[in-house]
Structure 1
């Protein structure tokens, strides 16, 4: 090996020295890597593994969070009820809770705590039924996410119904309390929603006073304050006094505040207090007649002080004023308090369909068109035979019904392999255009869990 001018060594041409010699022996105690050993371990391996984990976690997160909570707003219609009732991709979770609109329960997050407990109970049920862990987490994650929505828990009503399945999370805020219940089954538990469904019965309330009358529409579920722009705000808004020389002129607004009529101080004389009130209430009546009542045949319930009620009846053009009235000053009440009193008075109106159904049951009780036999009633609901179904509140019958084979099996207890047959009977009756009445045991037409009137 020689040096160049700069003193660097350069190897000679040809093969390296010792190239033709045999390979040296490897000492037996020298550590040797196994040929199958992963030589990519170390920093590069860690990066590869981290990337893989990140990819898996991203996929997992995407699967878990793809379903968002959806509120079913507005009236609970038959279509919404049937949509929930017809969902058949188990497992199906139903959570029913009484909730609070305001008060210490809201401040102390009572409803949020109850919902969290319900989610944990549902998770336990799913695990006991053998549902895969990833499916359980995917189903329940929107619920756990909802726990962090403070605005949601401060905007509830009196009841909350939540329905959860894989890829499905819908809830309904209800205007009355529910009995707390958690169920995991092959379908949703929807019969408790029946009392909240839209019914044809409704009525109007007019809270009359010398100032600021209030007008409402109410039904079996709740009350709505109707804003009528042309509604006069008081007697002085209708009857005006003007001094013109030696004459006093009393001027009234026309219907809906349009036009006028005069009462002169000479001749007819000055209208007294009762006449002024009558003119004012007639204007109120004309205004709500034009805005709403001219196309209605439903009851109008009057609320107000004793002396105002007969005056209004005497000037009103509406033929369907309810015979009983809410007497007293109700302007200090909020809408819900007024509604509660109104519903006590209007109870006979809402009970008319039930009374007719019970009367019909009594007339047909000696025939084959009525029954209390659950073995007959439950199959009949599937085949559109039931026109009216009476259900004892709190009843449960577990089992299965094979519609094709017309085979009914009653089970001793609840499990994920049987259905709530009363819930199914309620659903089928409503789907097929029948009526359902939930009743106390002593109100049932006959003793039993169910009673029915058949179409044929």
Structure 2
């Protein structure tokens, strides 16, 4: 069985990290080395050592004693000697430490810029692509005697066990007395001794009728298993079955395109990657549409690129889409009681990343968050762009 059913950092864990508020929360991000030569040179470990030095310097500004700092950071220091961690890397490593829950670290399929952050909360903005830019879709593997439904994204591939809600093969929908429409041999006394062949049913037309009955039953069960009815449904099946299913399905977003062939015998890791490669342009198109929407509304009150206005709107839950420039941060303070925003030049122990704050608050309240390079931001020279719900 294919076991890639969990995100590299489950949403529930991410949200528990987001809720953590305590002094001296440490966040470290770095990319890992996948090439043997880089691993042998211990380049990633050297980067982590440098990160630890930066974190030590900041923690000492909190008036902690050097011994306290060393003891506190020891769990991260011990990671340097974890051979299994560095020999089996993912793209990136995210490390979190706080006095209450101790050390948590996650290998994730994201390439990170090296970053360190110390505050009364964790810095989580770099992880948002795992949940917002990945694109949720459903993949239905389909043949006459094989049905599988997966909830999928760029980083997730989870079996939804559609057989609990729907028939898993043709016979369950059309009856177990179903017989394949094959030619059978019969002797005939008044004909040639070679006998004659005859068939049951009406061949291809009869076959299609049975497939339609099967797929209609499956379509009903599918709707019970799928939570997000707006997400695209991608099929993995033969061209013949795809044309029938797309014709009869009442699901409103069957993807216009499918993975051909019989899916039962495909390697699941390949199926996941192939399905993402096929459907990725759908989600890229959505991002492009939102960027264009911002531009179309840019001279109205439905958009903003002013950080104070956007921060206030995120806490009011009125931001529908937030674009965050992912290469730099804006630091400062935000007073929840007065809604006053103060922007400062750099990070210190008394301020926060305002871009991290806005991104997480928008995520928490159900808005869409897109992390973009500076040159792709709808409004250039602005770290935050927002489309408001109203």
2:127 corresponds to 1:197: no
Paired with 1:272 and 1:387, the residues of 2 have a C-alpha distance of 54
Tell whether the 8 Å contact from 2:219 to 2:249 is kept in structure 1 after alignment. no
- Residue 333 of structure 1, CA deviation: 5.5
TM-score (norm 2): 0.70
Distance 1:181 1:361, change over 3 A: same
Q: Which structure is higher in RCO with an 8 Å CA cutoff and minimum separation 6?
A: 2
Distance 1:179 1:396 in 2: 14
CA distance in 1, matches of 2:153, 2:40: 27
| 1:218 equivalent in alignment to 2:218 | no
2:173 paired residue number: 255
Separation in structure 1 between the aligned mates of residue 82 and residue 254 of structure 2, nearest angstrom: 46
- Residue in 2 that maps onto 1:269: 199
Task: Report the TM-score when normalising by structure 1.
Answer: 0.62
Residue deviations 1:245-302, cap 9 Å, x none?
A: xxxxxxxx3329x632356959982469857975886687467546534554443312
Structure 1 position 442, deviation (Å): 4.5
In the alignment, the residues of structure 1 paired with residue 65 and residue 214 of structure 2 have an alpha-carbon distance, to the nearest angstrom, of 64
Q: Check whether the contact 2:140–2:235 (CA below 8 A) recurs between aligned residues.
A: yes
Cα distance, 1:157 vs. partner?
5.0
Deviation string 1:65-102 (CA, Å, 9 cap, x unpaired) is: xxxxxx9986314xx545423434332221224458xx
Of residues 225, 234, 242 in structure 2, which corresponds to 1:301? 234
1:335 to 264, 268, 280: 268
- Secondary structure of 2:310's counterpart equals helix
Residues 384-399 of structure 1 aligned to structure 2 (within 5 Å): 384=317, 386-399=319-332
Shift of 1:381: 3.9
- Residues 1:280 and 1:96: Cα distance change in structure 2 (over 3 Å): farther
Match of residue 53 from structure 2:
124
Shift of 1:371: 2.1
CA contact (8 A) 2:139 2:235 kept: yes
CA distance in 1, matches of 2:338, 2:244: 66
- How far off is 1:127 after superposition? 3.2
Q: Is the 8 A contact 2:94 2:105 kept in 1?
A: yes
Residue of structure 1 in register with 2:168 after alignment: 231
Please tell me whether the aligned partners of residues 299 and 322 of structure 1 are also in contact (alpha carbons under 8 angstroms). yes
Inter-CA distance 408–254: structure 2 relative to 1 (3 Å threshold): closer
Residues 156-165 or 266-275, more deviating: 266-275
- Check 1:309–1:272 CA distance in 2 against 1; reply closer, same or farther (3 A cut): farther
C-alpha separation in 2, matches of 1:444 and 1:411: 22
Q: SS where residue 123 of structure 1 aligns?
A: helix
Task: Mark the structure with the bigger radius of gyration.
Answer: 1
Stretches of structure 2 that go unaligned for 5 or more consecutive residues are 1-5, 187-196
Say if 2:222 is the partner of 1:292: yes
CA distance in 2: counterparts of 1:111 and 1:164, whole angstroms:
27
Can you give the 5+ residue segments of structure 1 that lack an aligned partner in the other structure? 1-70, 233-237, 239-252
SS in 1 for 2:75: helix
Distance, in Å, in 2 between the alignment partners of 1:193 and 1:386 is 20
How far, CA to CA, are the matches of 2:248 and 2:339 in structure 1? Answer: 62
Which residue does the alignment assign to 1:452? Answer: 386
2: CA distance, partners of 1:433 / 1:294: 23
Q: Distance in 1 between matches of 2:386 and 2:27?
A: 27
